[in-house]
A and B are shown apart, each in its own frame.
Chain A
């Protein structure tokens, strides 16, 4: 089975489907015209650019260029995580980068080298989209982990100090907040795994089937992806939080307010 191309006139027909919800939302009095238009245009432009760079990467298929592209994705993810978690980039940039780089390279490498085993381990067809998926999931998990951890510590600072003043080590005092933050960070991935195939067919698997793959092959790839997403997100969150402890607290284990974006 080969994938049928969607001709440009049919693409125009596809965009026409947006008119129906647009019209209904307008009738319901929701003034979302601008938001809808921006969202559709952004999606189209962004995916168009993805098409251009993936085509270029696949055509060149240069290991150094692939590595450079992954590095760029890591830096963008690093900045994005810290901005959304409410932490100052200059303090945490290195620890977050270390966490997501290690977990992404480890999980992608594990999948490519030990499981998929292509002729070339640096083949852009495998490492670029796989690293992108790992990083996307890690990004969400790390935002939740960092934000929850430091927000709950600040909210419960009297409790945290009570633990310290009752003789807890620094790790013993932060451990309740650490556990809560990690649980919150990996819960969406775990929930996704638990309901996969029941509530919805995953996008990657659907894409593979539409692309002509056998359903069993698509299922095996989906399982591989989900396990690697779980491993990389968990690993990244744990490493990131642990490394951030060295930066966010002074030598007396008091949280440094200057590392937070908001006072």
Chain B
């Protein structure tokens, strides 16, 4: 499988001299499910944000589909990957408007989903159709996470960058989300602490103080870095 994402000895420094990531190297292949775990502040979310262009590189390189990170690659990542954060911002009044928000933008205007497609995605994520009319400010944190996931699925992207997306989910909803992302056609780079999610991943990188301290693959082969 070709590499979608390559981090090569990446170091990210915030402000004057706070090191967020130090010498991070890994690759993500098409269809792989890679999880980043570790304590809070270890640098997991920074990996996703670096990939999205929100943190500049101090050293090292990042490649997306073989191309180094620059303004056009960042634009490509943002349009081809669905990023869902721990506390997603729905940026709309109602759930229905939130789901259709990306399709107001020029790049996606011609890909607006049908109501049937919206209903199908909601069902996959264990969400009732009645939620469409609800105000975004009145739904729970778990529902917000699933609406953000539904929006990502409606975009038709196959690369997902997920940051603790099961943190507010009840067991049934979590199973529905796990089932969706078990799809072998989806490539997933996720930040998680969830044991069930980790069990589904093909590779787990454990972070501590901005460094990878353990690289665990599905075949139980352990690499200590």
Interface segment, one of A57-65, A131-139, A167-175, A188-196: A167-175
Complex: chain B residue closest to A163, CB-CB:
B91
Interface segment, one of B32-40, B99-107, B139-147, B170-178: B99-107
A35 at the interface (CB under 8 A from B): no
Interface segment, one of B17-25, B71-79, B118-126, B127-135: B71-79
Report the Cα distance A168→B89, complex, angstroms.
Answer: 15
Question: Is A166 a contact partner of B151 (Cβ separation < 8 A)?
Answer: yes
Of B56, B74, B101, which is within 8 A of A166 by CB?
B101
Binary B-proximity of A236-263 (CB < 8 A = 1, otherwise 0): 0000000000000011111000000000
B193 to chain A, nearest CB (A): 22
Binary A-proximity of B34-78 (CB < 8 A = 1, otherwise 0): 000000000000000000111010000000000000110010001
**Total inter-chain residue pairs, C-beta < 8 Å:** 44
A214 at the interface (CB under 8 A from B): no
Question: Is A167 a contact partner of B105 (Cβ separation < 8 A)?
Answer: yes
- Count how many chain B residues have C-beta atoms less than 8 Å from C-beta atoms of the other chain: 21
A231 at the interface (CB under 8 A from B): no
Of B53, B106, B155, which is within 8 A of A252 by CB?
B53
Report the Cα distance A70→B56, complex, angstroms.
Answer: 43
Of B70, B71, B78, B107, which is within 8 A of A165 by CB?
B78
B108 at the interface (CB under 8 A from A): yes
Question: Is A252 a contact partner of B71 (Cβ separation < 8 A)?
Answer: yes
- Count how many chain A residues have C-beta atoms less than 8 Å from C-beta atoms of the other chain: 17
Question: Is A167 a contact partner of B91 (Cβ separation < 8 A)?
Answer: no
B108 to chain A, nearest CB (A): 5
Question: Is A161 a contact partner of B54 (Cβ separation < 8 A)?
Answer: yes
Complex: chain B residue closest to A254, CB-CB:
B54
B11 to chain A, nearest CB (A): 18
A162 at the interface (CB under 8 A from B): yes
Return chain A residues, CB-CB under 8 Å to B102: 166-168
The 3 closest A-B pairs by CB, nearest first: A252-B53, A166-B102, A162-B89
18 pairs across A/B with beta carbons < 8 Å? A159-B91, A161-B54, A162-B88, A162-B89, A166-B101, A166-B102, A166-B151, A166-B155, A167-B78, A167-B79, A167-B102, A168-B107, A169-B105, A169-B107, A172-B105, A251-B70, A252-B54, A252-B74
Where the two chains meet, the residues of A that have a C-beta atom closer than 8 Å to any C-beta of B are 158-159, 161-169, 172, 250-254
